[in-house]
Amino acid sequence: MGNDEYGLKGENLIQEGADFLVNTYARNPILVLKGKGAKVWDSSGREYLDFVGGIAVCNLGHCHPNVIHALEEQARRLIHCSNLYYIGPQAELARRLCEHSYGEKVFFCNSGAEANESAIKLARKYARERHGGEKHEIITMDNSFHGRTMGALSATGQQKFHKGFEPLLPGFKYVPFDDIEAVQDAIGPHTCAVMVEPIQGEGGVNLPSPHYLKELRNLCDQKQILLIYDEIQVGMGRTGKLFAYQHYDAPPHIMTLAKSLANGVPIGAMVTTEQVAQAFSPGSHASTFGGNPLATRVGCAVLDTLLGDRILENCQRMGEYFLTGLLDLKERYDFIKDVRGKGLIIGAELEFEGKEIVERCLQKGFLINCTMDRVLRFLPPLIITSKEIDLLLAALQEIFSER
Ligand SMILES: Cc1ncc(COP(=O)(O)O)c(C=O)c1O
Distance in Å, CA 153 to ligand 1 centroid: 10
* Residue list, ligand 1 pocket, CB within 6 Å: 55, 111-113, 116, 145-147, 197, 201-202, 230, 232-233, 258
| pLDDT of 25 strictly over 80 | yes
Mean pLDDT of 260-272: 98
Q: Residue 75's pLDDT is what?
A: 98
Q: Residue 149's pLDDT is what?
A: 98
| pLDDT of 132 strictly over 90 | no
User: In 3D, which of 119, 109, 261 has the Cα closest to residue 196?
Assistant: 119
- C-alpha span between 248 and 293 (Å, rounded): 33
3-state secondary structure of 350: strand
Atom 16 of ligand 1 has which residue's CA nearest to it? 233
Q: For 205-239, write each residue's pLDDT tens digit.
A: 999 999 999 999 999 999 999 999 999 999 999 99
Mean pLDDT, all residues of the chain = 97
Cα–Cα separations (whole angstroms), residue 220 to 192, 195, 207, 227, 270: 9, 11, 20, 6, 19
Q: Which of 7-16, 247-256, 325-334 has the lowest average pLDDT?
A: 7-16
Q: Residue 238's pLDDT is what?
A: 98
Distance in Å, CA 397 to ligand 1 centroid: 31
| pLDDT of 1 strictly over 60 | no
Distance in Å, CA 272 to ligand 1 centroid: 18
DSSP string of 201-262, one letter each residue: STTTSBPPPTTHHHHHHHHHHHHT-EEEEE-TTTTTTTTSSSSGGGGTT---SEEEE-GGGG
Q: Residue 8's pLDDT is what?
A: 58
* Ligand 1 atom closest to the CA of 231, numbered from 1: 1
Distance in Å, CA 25 to ligand 1 centroid: 15
Mutate to test the pocket of ligand 1, among 148, 233, 372 (most ligand atoms within 8 A of CB): 233
| pLDDT of 185 strictly over 90 | yes
Mutate to test the pocket of ligand 1, among 52, 57, 116, 232 (most ligand atoms within 8 A of CB): 232
Kindly give, in sequence order, each residue whose CB lies less than 8 Å from that of residue 177, ignoring residues fewer than 6 positions away: 141, 142, 143, 144, 196, 200, 203, 206, 208
Is the C-alpha dihedral spanning 356, 358, 362, 365 positive or negative? Answer: positive
Atom 7 of ligand 1 has which residue's CA nearest to it? 112
Q: Residue 55's pLDDT is what?
A: 98
Atom 8 of ligand 1 has which residue's CA nearest to it? 112
Distance in Å, CA 159 to ligand 1 centroid: 16
Mutate to test the pocket of ligand 1, among 141, 146, 229, 243 (most ligand atoms within 8 A of CB): 146
Q: Residue 5's pLDDT is what?
A: 57
Mean pLDDT of 341-346: 98
Mean pLDDT of 41-55: 97
Ramachandran region of residue 4, left (φ > 0), alpha (ψ -120 to 50) or beta? beta
pTM: 0.97
- C-alpha span between 294 and 297 (Å, rounded): 5
* Ligand 1 atom closest to the CA of 197, numbered from 1: 1
Distance in Å, CA 145 to ligand 1 centroid: 7
Asked if residue 87 lies in contact with residue 292, where contact means CB atoms within 8 angstroms, the answer is: yes
Looking at residue 391, its amino acid is L
Distance in Å, CA 399 to ligand 1 centroid: 30
Q: Residue 11's pLDDT is what?
A: 85
Q: For 345-385, write each residue's pLDDT tens digit.
A: 999 999 999 999 999 999 999 999 999 999 999 999 999 99
* pLDDT bracket for residue 107 (50, 70, 90): very high
For the chain, list the domains and their CATH numbers. Answer: 10-51+310-401 (3.90.1150.10), 65-308 (3.40.640.10)
Distance in Å, CA 199 to ligand 1 centroid: 13
Atom 3 of ligand 1 has which residue's CA nearest to it? 146
Helix 293-308 to helix 311-332 angle (10° resolution) is 70
* pLDDT bracket for residue 103 (50, 70, 90): very high
